[in-house]
Amino acid sequence: MTASNFANMKIVILMLLLSCLPCNVTVALAEDDFQKIETLQRRAEKLVSEGLEQYDYHLTKARTWLDLAMTESYDKDDSGVITAATEQAEGLLDAMDNRKTDISMDTPHQVIGSEEVRPDLWEKISALKMNERFSCGQRPTAQAEVYLVWSGHEYYESGQSHAESYLRAVEDRIYEAQVAINNCKEPTTPTPLMEKITLSSDALFAFNKATLNSTAISSLNELAEKISKVNMLEEVMLVGHTDRLRSDGHPERNQLLSEQRAESIKQFLIDKGISADKIHASGAGSAQPIVECSSKLSKKEQIVCLQPNRRVEITLRGGNAVDANKGFVK
């Protein structure tokens, strides 16, 4: 072998090694991301077990930052937004763990891997936070802030059309917060819920579909009858939720699926005579999981484990209280 051939062979080998290096680094970083996010999620759960209100503004914001980080980790994002979101969540959790009472309510309008979008929505969020009854709408407000940054990330990566479903989620949360604040009787007093009902999406829809199953009719008929008996009905809020799984590699489509499922139930209730202007339907995608399941499980095991996350939450607000044994009472 000539010296020239030997030198060329070394160059080829070096190029092969270098081409493999990013793959190994990416795998290692992804695993590190998952482990850190799961550790922070456990810290959030511990705070609740220690007595922190689960709808607390700062806790909700930290959890939503972690939802962003986890979703983008599954999508193998390399823009830097995963690290940025994780750092935001960690800072909030550190402050809550240390029982700080002066935690800043400021939220960055953009982070690494995102662009600032919709300043008009940021203005609406600011107005909500300045309201004296803000505590009644703190949870959806915190979600709206992070979702708006998330929208900026989607815009940064793929443009306006890709960010639209995320922006709709922001608008839904702003609406939800404003309704809660408007219905708040006294400052710092949460608006009482008349009743909250959770229906499993698996019993209502086929997997990855938004068309109602025939088996869903019975439970939805019962729901419609219950709503029709409520005097002074103010609002029926429908929120669709999905798990994080997507076989097509597009986790952002879970947002659209959750919206479509809520709209299907809304149309069913309208057909049963419930006033359309009393029903508000929205979707949360996979951003508000009830359970977390290891990605190391098989796909079949993950589907079973994540079942509680596939749901539709129905909140009834009105002038009556509900007693499960006695029906509707004043």
Distance of CA 254 to the CA centre of its chain: 10
Backbone torsions φ then ψ of 83, nearest 5 degrees? -65, -40
List, in order, residues 6 or more apart from 243 with CB less than 8 Å away. Answer: 254, 286, 289, 303, 306, 307, 309, 310
Enumerate domains of the chain plus CATH numbers.
Answer: 1-191 (no CATH), 194-330 (3.30.1330.60)
Kindly report the CA angle at 72 between 67 and 75, in degrees rounded to 5? 135
- Per-residue pLDDT at 117: 95
* Residue in 269, 279, 267 with CA at minimum distance from that of residue 236: 279
- Per-residue pLDDT at 302: 87
Place of tokens 């482990």: 35
Largest CA distance in the chain: 96
* Residue in 153, 142, 147 with CA at minimum distance from that of residue 167: 147
On whether the CB atoms of residues 69 and 85 are closer than 8 A, the answer is yes
> Which amino acid belongs to residue 159?
G
At 196 the three-state DSSP class reads strand
Quickly count helices (H) and strands (E) in the chain: 10, 6
- Per-residue pLDDT at 299: 86
Mean pLDDT by 10 residues, the chain (330 residues): 48 40 44 85 87 90 93 88 94 91 90 94 95 93 95 93 92 95 67 73 86 90 89 87 76 86 95 92 88 86 88 80 32
Angle between helices 138-158 and 160-182 (to 10 degrees): 170
Query: What pTM does this model have?
Result: 0.53
